[in-house]
């Protein structure tokens, strides 16, 4: 009986170790951010309307596919910590073939650069109608125990002085993968009104109180935001889908 109990204890211990290892691996290899800011990355590159539409329309799907490939390939690296960045360019043909991979920015780790290239070659991107130049900024932050999204970081910082103010009227937001954070203060109780031009140019807009509490979320299917609010300080988080004009009115 004692030997059976000992075997069960050993088995449970092994299972626990496996779970701990899997947990650590998931944390270690989760910190890969990919951005594709078309205005910043494609300066001097002539794109047809079809090519530009493809890049913007399938950006999120292609980034997700590349991120999955990178997470698989990065496990072959034996680095406990990496804080590096690659900027890559390549051509994607209508049959899905990747060619002419070049680095606009190498990292300080040659193995990481080779891993990035290998992951790109293995990624099954959505096929474009015509050969299209693809460019990505890939940021690696491997080894951190916890990764905060832009939304979480904005909530945790709490101090509105870190962010740019947004005035009443129309504000232009250029497309970018990261979030914009803006703050404003109402002079009295009333309503906060917001709409976009063109419609559905934002992926999401989140209205928060100064303490980070979410008050309202604007989705593309909603024509605008009309939220009753008391006098005080507020924060807006913008996630763009394309270049967008936001008209904001508050008391």
Region of poorest pLDDT, from 7-11, 151-155, 229-233: 151-155
Q: Is there a domain that residue 4 lies in?
A: no
Report the alpha-carbon angle 139-24-26, nearest 5: 55
Residue 88 pLDDT > 90, yes or no?
yes
Same domain, 189 and 116: no
DSSP letters of 55-106?
HHHTHHHHHHHHHHHHHHHGGG---S-EEEEEEEEEEE-TTS-EEEEEEEE-
Q: Is there a domain that residue 6 lies in?
A: no
* Inter-residue contact 31 to 79 (CB < 8 Å): no
Place of tokens 């005080």: 232
Q: Is there a domain that residue 229 lies in?
A: yes
Domain range for 237 is: 150-249
* Residue 55 pLDDT level (bands cut at 50, 70, 90): very high
Same domain, 129 and 186: no
Rounded CA gap, 244 and 51, in Å?
20
pLDDT recorded at residue 174: 83
Structure tokens at 243: 């270049």
* Residue 239 pLDDT level (bands cut at 50, 70, 90): confident
Q: Which of 76, 108, 142 is the last residue of a domain?
A: 142
Q: Is there a domain that residue 9 lies in?
A: no
Structure tokens at 228: 């009753």
* Inter-residue contact 148 to 156 (CB < 8 Å): yes
Residue 4 pLDDT > 80, yes or no?
no
Q: Is there a domain that residue 24 lies in?
A: no
Same domain, 167 and 211: yes
Number of domains in the chain: 2
Structure tokens at 143: 């080894």
Same domain, 102 and 192: no
Structure tokens at 209: 């109180």
* Residue 80 pLDDT level (bands cut at 50, 70, 90): low
Mean pLDDT, range 122-135, rounded to an integer:
96
Same domain, 129 and 198: no
Q: Which of 142, 176, 205 is the last residue of a domain?
A: 142
Q: Which of 101, 122, 142 is the last residue of a domain?
A: 142
Residue 45 pLDDT > 80, yes or no?
yes
Q: What is the pTM of this model?
A: 0.50
Q: Is there a domain that residue 129 lies in?
A: yes
* Residue 218 pLDDT level (bands cut at 50, 70, 90): confident
Structure tokens at 101: 């991979």
Structure tokens at 146: 């916890």
Regarding predicted confidence, which is higher, 2 or 104? 104
Q: Is there a domain that residue 35 lies in?
A: yes
Regarding predicted confidence, which is higher, 144 or 67? 67
Q: How many CB atoms lie within 10 A of CB 58?
A: 16
Same domain, 73 and 119: yes
- For residue 208, give the CATH number of its domain: 2.60.120.380
Same domain, 48 and 78: yes
Region of poorest pLDDT, from 80-89, 97-106, 170-179: 170-179
């Amino acid at each position: 009986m004692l030997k059976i109990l000992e075997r069960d204890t050993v088995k449970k211990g092994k299972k626990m170790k496996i779970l701990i290892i899997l947990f650590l691996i998931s944390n270690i290899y989760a910190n890969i951010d990919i951005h594709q800011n078309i205005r910043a990355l494609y300066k001097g590159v002539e794109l047809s309307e079809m090519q530009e539409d493809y890049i913007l329309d399938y950006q999120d799907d292609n980034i997700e596919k590349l991120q999955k490939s990178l997470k698989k390939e990065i496990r072959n690296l034996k680095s406990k910590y990496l804080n590096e960045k690659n900027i890559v360019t390549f051509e994607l043909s209508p049959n899905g073939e990747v060619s002419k991979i070049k680095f606009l920015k190498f990292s300080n780790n040659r193995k990481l650069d080779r891993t990035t290239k290998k992951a790109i070659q293995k990624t099954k991107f959505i096929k474009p109608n015509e050969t299209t130049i693809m460019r990505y900024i890939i940021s690696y932050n491997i080894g951190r125990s916890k990764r905060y999204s832009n939304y979480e970081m904005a909530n945790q910082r709490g101090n509105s002085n870190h962010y740019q103010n947004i005035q009443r009227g129309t504000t232009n937001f250029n497309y970018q993968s990261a979030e914009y954070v803006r703050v404003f203060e109402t002079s009295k109780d009333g309503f906060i009104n917001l709409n976009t031009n063109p419609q559905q140019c934002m992926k999401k807009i989140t209205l928060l109180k100064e303490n980070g509490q979410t008050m309202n979320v604007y989705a593309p299917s909603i024509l605008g935001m009309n939220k009753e609010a008391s006098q005080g300080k507020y924060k807006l988080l913008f996630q763009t889908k394309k270049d967008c004009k936001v008209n904001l009115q508050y008391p």
